[in-house]
Structure 1
Amino acid sequence: MRDPYSVLGVARTASEKEIKSAYRKLAKAYHPDQNPDDPGAHAKFAEATAAYDLLSDATKRAQFDRGEIDAEGNPRFAGFGNGGFGGAARGARPGAGGFSAEDILKEFMSGFGGQPRGGARTTFSEAQWDPFAGTAQRGGAKGEDFTATAAVSLEDAHRGGSIDVRLPNGKMLAVKLPKNVEDGQQIRLKGQGQPSPIGQPGDALITVKFEKHKTFRLDGHDLRTDLPITLYEAVLGTKARVPTLDGSVELNLPPGVDTSKSLRLKGKGLYGDGDLYVNVKIVLPPGGDPDLESLMRFWRDQKPYKVRD
């Protein structure tokens, strides 16, 4: 992966809020649901998600800034000086009379019958190789990654904690949700993928998918909901209970409430940095009412008023 700061288009001094805002814009533009037939958009979405996954983790970000890990979250190899194996840069190709660590791994792999299962190209980093031991102590052919989608309710995302996710091999995992997790964000679980007979196992890549909520509509971190009221409550005013992700609250509706505008409850949206917008809707009695119809005819004929041009 490219430098995560470049992927998100932010400076290395960017705040957590700036990083989150940059990711949200990219995720919205390149989300697979918005670009079902565009592989390029899918790739950009995955790249942005991986970059956010690293930079949103304070520990990983600090390690990356210090050069201790690469953009994939793998440890960097410090080397053994100019004359040792560390003299070749990661991914370097052999020069005159020289060889790369990847060549060594290929020779090592030939003792097990050639290429890894499935003929996949072996990937290798110096951090997985101990030149003094002569064997692949921590690496070798890494197992395949598992991919899975985790359906997450807005309540679970808001509260945090863990959710149960079933991997393709049937294994159930309790996955801790990152703080302020985003829809479409990818969570990498190290070593929870396909085992490898001679190397380390692959990872599990869990993509978060927010479930459709029966009460709230998500708009960024803002929430929107409808509040039904009677005609007399709209005219005379009332107090009504309104649901939020933290429990219901009481809302004062003034007499003659303007139902054309949403009522805003600040800080009652997702993660507390979004707001809750309440759309008031007048509901008439079911089946009609003769007295109400008579009153409305009187109102129409004796006290008309305009609400449209």
Structure 2
Amino acid sequence: MAEDPYKVLGVPRDATPEAIKRAYRKLARQNHPDLNPGKPEAEARFKAASAANAILSDPETRARFDRGEIDAEGQEAAPAGGWRRHADAAQGHRYEPFTDAGVFEDLFADMFAARQAAESAPRPGRDESYRLRVPFLSAMLGATEELVLPDGRRLSVRIPPGVTTGQSLRLRGQGGPGRNGGPAGNAVIELEVEDHPFLRRGGQDLHMDLPVTLREAVLGGAVTVPAPGGALRVTLPPASDTGRQIRLRGKGVPAQGGKPAGDLLLTLRVVVGRPDAALEAFLRDWQPEHLEDPRRGMEAAP
């Protein structure tokens, strides 16, 4: 059952025709479906305001409602001007009480102003995506690399230590230009870390295959290791076979983002090279006290 039209429009029962017209225009502007797409509650308020205005805007219909001859829907024995007649009218003629030229002008003015405001509002520029190849050591230790954009601009990109392939950096204000005074967009830079000739990364640790001579492997001693942060002197233990691993704590990927510094793990690789005549003669005459078979346990399975 429809509500009291006076209550719907929010006016007292002795309201003047001008007050009723103003109240209806206000509700119509606020709740018209064109200004509230996808909001069924606004459309329902618009329909109720149109029905209430159909009764109260006509002096005769209003008088009959006030006398109780018709209800809030305009229902009576004789034809009435209730909202149902308008809601059930043919397409193109629904809610015909909303034909006041002033209301239409106000609505169109509001819609045009809203569209104009949206078009003239400041808008940020688009983010633009780029890809930057980063040398391995720059990615491990941090550095500043240069990125050349398609328009010829050159950006200095600060690479934090410990970045990995696939991570992105955002440079504010280096993307597409803004509109109507809006800020420029951002440059989103995806990083691709290049391979290193003898270093590999595993989490926070770095791995290196370290070539050593036969003499160094047998006798041990100090060797120089080309570590990421600079050359290191490392003492090899005697009798170090190929595959032996030495861990240098804290010499891997630097600490960052709450992660501790990683380690540098050296895996020894004995390199015989081209032996000289003296070594060959020694090995031919050498009779080890304890001969070991390095292939023991590798016999073919039956």
TM-score tier (shorter) = 0.5 to 0.7
- Residue in 1 aligned with 2:188? 205
CA distance in 1, matches of 2:269, 2:113: 68
Q: Tell me, which stretches of 5 or more residues in structure 1 are unaligned?
A: 1-91, 112-134
- Residue in 2 aligned with 1:6? none
Cα 1:228–1:106 change in 2 (3 A) is: farther
Instruction: Check whether the contact 1:148–1:168 (CA below 8 A) recurs between aligned residues.
Output: no
Residues 1:192 and 2:174 aligned together? yes
CA distance in 1, matches of 2:131, 2:113: 34
- Residue in 2 aligned with 1:292? 279
Cα 1:104–1:307 change in 2 (3 A) is: farther
Match of 1:174 among 144, 148, 156: 156
CA distance in 2, matches of 1:259, 1:305: 15
Q: CA deviation at 1:177?
A: 2.6
Q: Which amino acid aligns with 2:283?
A: M
Cα 1:301–1:289 change in 2 (3 A) is: same
1:247-262 to 2 correspondences below 5 Å = 247-262=230-245
- Residue in 1 aligned with 2:133? 151
Cα 1:252–1:95 change in 2 (3 A) is: same
Quote the RMSD (CA, aligned, Å): 3.1
CA distance in 2, matches of 1:176, 1:306: 54
**Number of positions where the alignment pairs a residue of Structure 1 with one of Structure 2:** 187
CA distance in 2, matches of 1:105, 1:250: 75
Q: Rg bigger for which structure?
A: 2
Residues 1:246 and 2:229 aligned together? yes
CA distance in 1, matches of 2:236, 2:292: 22
Q: CA deviation at 1:93?
A: 6.8
State the Cα deviation string for residues 152-171 of structure 1 (Å, max 9, x = none).
Answer: 22332343343222223221
Q: Which amino acid aligns with 1:187?
A: L
Cα 1:179–1:242 change in 2 (3 A) is: closer
State the Cα deviation string for residues 143-190 of structure 1 (Å, max 9, x = none).
Answer: 332211222223323433432222232211112234543332111122
- Residue in 1 aligned with 2:207? 224
1:1-309 to 2 correspondences below 5 Å = 94-96=38-40, 97=42, 107-108=115-116, 136=121, 139-140=122-123, 142-178=124-160, 180-198=162-180, 199-272=182-255, 273-286=261-274, 288-299=275-286, 304-308=291-295, 309=297
- Between the aligned residues of both structures, percent identity stands at 34
CA distance in 2, matches of 1:105, 1:221: 58
Q: CA deviation at 1:250?
A: 0.8
Q: CA deviation at 1:200?
A: 3.3
Instruction: Check whether the contact 1:146–1:167 (CA below 8 A) recurs between aligned residues.
Output: no
Cα 1:213–1:93 change in 2 (3 A) is: farther
CA distance in 2, matches of 1:238, 1:105: 84
Q: Which amino acid aligns with 2:172?
A: K
Instruction: Check whether the contact 2:136–2:193 (CA below 8 A) recurs between aligned residues.
Output: yes
- Residue in 2 aligned with 1:13? none
3-state SS, counterpart of residue 227 of structure 2: coil
Cα 1:110–1:222 change in 2 (3 A) is: closer
Instruction: Check whether the contact 1:146–1:168 (CA below 8 A) recurs between aligned residues.
Output: no
Cα 1:298–1:244 change in 2 (3 A) is: same
Q: Which amino acid aligns with 1:144?
A: R
CA distance in 2, matches of 1:235, 1:302: 15
CA distance in 2, matches of 1:253, 1:105: 81
Cα 1:171–1:244 change in 2 (3 A) is: same
State the Cα deviation string for residues 98-141 of structure 1 (Å, max 9, x = none).
Answer: 8xxxx999823886xxxxxxxxxxxxxxxxxxxxxxx52xx43x
3-state SS, counterpart of residue 139 of structure 2: helix
CA distance in 1, matches of 2:129, 2:112: 30
Cα 1:302–1:160 change in 2 (3 A) is: closer
CA distance in 2, matches of 1:300, 1:93: 96
Instruction: Check whether the contact 2:169–2:188 (CA below 8 A) recurs between aligned residues.
Output: yes
3-state SS, counterpart of residue 155 of structure 1: helix
Instruction: Check whether the contact 2:175–2:184 (CA below 8 A) recurs between aligned residues.
Output: yes
